[in-house]
Amino acid sequence: MMKLWIAPAGLHVEPAQGRDAGELARIHAQGFYRGWPREEFSGFLGEPDTPVYIACDARRRIAGFALIRQAADEAELLTIAVDPKWRGKHVGRALLRAALDDLRMSPARRMFLEVDEQNAAAIRLYSGQGFTRIGARKGYYPRPDGSAATALVMARDLG
């Protein structure tokens, strides 16, 4: 049975497929200082412990994606990115909600993530879905100028 979640702006969320790796790498590179190569995404796709969700239109043009890692009773949001031209339309929220909904079927009881303390959009997205700050890691994210940003660690219980 095909999994599918309704998203705003005529989009929907569904599981990513192996052929999406190049598109995921492209969108990721637009969202982060250090992109991940396509091969990295190919490795995650198709593995049951690293589900990837895409938000796309009826022609499967991808607006954003979320990548989760599951281990025993914990889940981690490894990355989430929305194409710049699709941001601010609640696509990120739809992706996160779909992942949280799907995780209800898994053994995971708690979900974690790390976020740059200066990333207001992402922090707002996560807070809105029930994540709270549980700690911080100093010097975690490299910046183009050679400095490093502090990461907040956030978590929430699942279902």
Ligand X SMILES: CC(C)(COP(=O)(O)OP(=O)(O)OC[C@H]1O[C@@H](n2cnc3c(N)ncnc32)[C@H](O)[C@@H]1OP(=O)(O)O)[C@@H](O)C(=O)NCCC(=O)NCCS
Residues in contact with ligand X by the rule CB under 6 A: 31-32, 80-82, 87-93, 115, 119-122, 124-125, 128
In the complex, minimum distance from the CB of residue 85 to ligand X, in angstroms, rounded to a whole number: 10
Please list the residues that pair with 80 across neighbouring strands. 66
- Sequence-distant (≥ 6) Cβ neighbours of residue 99 within 8 angstroms: 51, 53, 66, 68, 77
Q: Which is nearer to ligand X, 45 or 151 (CB)?
A: 151
Q: Which is nearer to ligand X, 61 or 107 (CB)?
A: 61
By annotation, the residues acting in catalysis are 114, 126
Q: Which is nearer to ligand X, 107 or 128 (CB)?
A: 128
In the complex, minimum distance from the CB of residue 89 to ligand X, in angstroms, rounded to a whole number: 5
Our separate counts of H helices and E strands in the chain read 4, 8
Q: Which is nearer to ligand X, 6 or 107 (CB)?
A: 6
In the complex, minimum distance from the CB of residue 22 to ligand X, in angstroms, rounded to a whole number: 18
In the complex, minimum distance from the CB of residue 66 to ligand X, in angstroms, rounded to a whole number: 8
DSSP string computed for 2-60: ---EE-STT-EEEE--GGGHHHHHHHHHHH-SS---HHHHHHHTT-TTS-EEEEE-TT-
Q: Which of 155, 113, 108, 116 is nearest to 134 (CA)?
A: 155
CA distance 65 to 82: 7
- Going by the DSSP 8-state scheme, the letter that residue 123 receives in this structure is H
